[in-house]
């Protein structure tokens, strides 16, 4: 058994283990875990400094997950946009393949918490075959994103079979992997895995750091191995109340990401998923963060702030208002708050 597999097997899956370690009462969390499973790797658990901190909030169940709410279990209508099980086809040229039903850590804010880690998300060989057949016969799909769950919880040979099948389809020009294991189970990023991935370029990798304390030496080494294998690395952060909803924290995060060759890609406003409302911020919080980043940090470090619109209607970019007025002369607001005029006419 490899080190990463042992880490996964040794994960904390019951609130009682948290009570023993942190001296807190977790009885109220038993009902939450029956509805939304819990899993925390030993590595990620060790990042918690105290109950209620930024790491705790992301991985430890909260009684508020079961509060009555108006939110949808499937706010992005992924089930409606699934022509076959395990495949979401929202955009004409892109498809999302749910290659695994498990994660190293079950994030409490997950938009798929309705099924990730649950029996309802059984990833069978038959279902994967049906999804691959759909991609093979749908020739306008140019870009396939492997997601889940976490596709890197598949063993190397099983993951390679998927990559081999996809790379053999002439119309699939690009494959992306979405994985949080560099953050939650960095031992998974082995030299053997990276050697295998290197064979399937063009291959892109998006990971998911939410807080600068996740940028540990182990996580940095995992990202180094991926980058050295030639995979362009991007990061998708979710804006979470009480975790990263301040410009100072986000500045530390995006600067730290660039140091390890990870490009900040998206800052996601929270999806309207049931059981996640206690993480939600106002949109103004995200706009203030983006405005605070422009100028003090490199443009490479400024992510796109987006809302993934309910109903599966696509991502909507949100920007601070730098364009004040448009006519023959444009009135623009600089990142420092100064207004300038800029000519807006053809020669």
Catalytic residues: 90-91, 94, 103, 107, 110, 112, 271, 308, 315
Coil, strand or helix at 323? strand
Mark residue 337 as left, alpha or beta (left: phi above 0; alpha: psi -120 to 50; beta: remaining): left
H or E element at residue 236: strand 233-238
Is cis: bond before 149, omega within 30 of 0? yes
Instruction: Tell me the CA distances in angstroms from 7 to 45, 226, 302, one per residue in order.
Output: 11, 20, 33
Q: Please tell me the distance from the alpha carbon of residue 117 to that of residue 149, in angstroms, as a whole number.
A: 7
Beta bridge partners of 143: 94, 174
Q: Where are the alpha helices (DSSP H) in the chain?
A: 3-9, 15-22, 30-35, 42-45, 54-59, 125-137, 156-167, 181-184, 191-197, 217-228, 247-259, 283-293
Element (H, E) at 95: strand 94-98
Q: How far is CA 160 from CA 163, 194, 200, in A?
A: 5, 11, 9
Q: In the chain, what is the straight-line distance between the N-terminal and C-terminal CA atoms, in Å?
A: 69
Helix (H, G, I), strand (E, B) or coil at 304: strand
């Amino acid at each position: 058994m490899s080190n990463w597999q042992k880490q996964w097997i040794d994960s904390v899956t019951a609130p009682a283990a948290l009570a023993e370690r942190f001296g807190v009462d977790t009885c109220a969390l038993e009902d939450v875990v029956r509805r939304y499973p819990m899993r925390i790797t030993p590595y990620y658990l060790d990042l918690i400094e105290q109950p209620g901190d930024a790491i705790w909030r992301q991985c430890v169940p909260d009684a508020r997950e079961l509060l009555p709410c108006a939110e949808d279990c499937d706010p992005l209508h992924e089930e409606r946009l699934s022509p076959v099980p395990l495949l979401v086809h929202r955009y004409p040229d892109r498809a999302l393949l749910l290659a695994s039903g498990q994660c190293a850590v079950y994030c409490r804010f997950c938009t798929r918490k309705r099924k990730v880690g649950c029996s309802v998300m059984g990833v069978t060989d038959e279902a994967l075959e049906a999804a691959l057949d759909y991609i093979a016969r749908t020739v306008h799909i140019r870009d396939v994103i492997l997601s889940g769950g976490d596709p890197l919880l598949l063993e190397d040979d099983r993951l390679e079979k998927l990559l081999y099948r996809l790379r053999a389809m002439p119309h699939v020009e690009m494959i992306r992997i979405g994985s949080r294991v560099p953050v939650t189970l960095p031992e998974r990023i082995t030299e053997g895995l990276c050697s295998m991935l290197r064979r399937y370029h063009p291959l892109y990798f998006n990971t998911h750091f939410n807080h600068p304390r996740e940028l540990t030496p182990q996580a940095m080494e995992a990202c180094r191995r991926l980058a050295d294998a030639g995979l362009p690395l991007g990061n998708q952060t979710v804006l979470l109340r009480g975790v990263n909803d301040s410009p100072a924290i986000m500045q530390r995060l995006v600067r730290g990401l660039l140091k390890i060759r990870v490009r900040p890609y998206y800052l996601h406003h929270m999806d309207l998923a049931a059981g996640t409302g206690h993480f939600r911020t106002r949109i103004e919080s995200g706009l203030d963060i983006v405005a605070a980043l422009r100028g003090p940090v490199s443009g490479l470090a400024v992510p796109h702030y987006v809302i993934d619109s309910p109903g599966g209607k696509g991502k909507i970019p949100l920007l601070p208002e730098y364009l004040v007025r448009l006519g023959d002369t444009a009135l623009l607001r600089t990142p420092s708050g100064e207004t300038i005029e800029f000519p807006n006419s053809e020669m």
